[in-house]
A and B are shown apart, each in its own frame.
Chain A
Amino acid sequence: DAGVTQSPTHLIKTRGQQVTLRCSPKSGHDTVSWYQQALGQGPQFIFQYYEEEERQRGNFPDRFSGHQFPNYSSELNVNALLLGDSALYLCASSKDRGHEQYFGPGTRLTVT
């Protein structure tokens, strides 16, 4: 039974570019949440998708957007990258919006 998977593992982008990160939830899960973890900090909630719609959003600008597909996988898109967007991006999945969230290994984004 595969857990939460994320791709790519690492990514290097230039300021101003756009990036797409991908997440496949744990088998049987239908809810996907995205978190940003800056170096030396705890994860911060970006947004959550359920039934292909954004259901909740943290304090992040509109440059951060997402999508959920019919198979429950999800993408996180960040436009107009800033140096401060450099972080580990974590995806977590749960069943039916539940509080038991399983985290993926993350995508390390470096913006230069």
Chain B
Amino acid sequence: AQSVAQPEDQVNVAEGNPLTVKCTYSVSGNPYLFWYVQYPNRGLQFLLKYITGDNLVKGSYGFEAEFNKSQTSFHLKKPSALVSDSALYFCAVRAGRDNFNTFYFGSGTKLNVKP
């Protein structure tokens, strides 16, 4: 069965410092991994995905994520955090059978960036 885990409910970081939001996964077969961000009273916005290729994936708003197969992790990173990055972040793994795609989401990590 496909699943993802986000071990931290909340991450606090000072503006300008690097940030990391952790995600580990469990899948059968090759993983398709995603990061989404959710601002208050908004839907989910796509940040980046890993399907195949380079283990370091670059996405929107300066975010990147590192795929590590041996550690089954897909941590989200940003070199320099902004106050506007404060939001709820979700890691997701592709699921579904045949040619149909759905997602299993983690429980989310609240990122607080302080000035």
Contacting residues of chain A (43-77) with chain B, CB-CB under 8 angstroms: 43-45, 48, 50, 55-56, 58
B60 to chain A, nearest CB (A): 13
Complex Cα distance, B108 from A106, in Å, reads 17
Q: Which among B41, B97, B104 is the interface contact of A56 at CB below 8 angstroms?
A: B97
**Are B104 and A45 in touch, CB under 8 angstroms?**
yes
Chain B: number of interface residues, binned into ranges:
20 to 34
Contacting residues of chain B (86-111) with chain A, CB-CB under 8 angstroms: 90, 92, 94-97, 99-108
Chain B interface residues (CB < 8 Å from chain A): 32, 36, 41-46, 49, 51, 90, 92, 94-97, 99-108
Chain A interface residues (CB < 8 Å from chain B): 4, 33, 35, 40-45, 48, 50, 55-56, 58, 90, 92, 94, 97-106
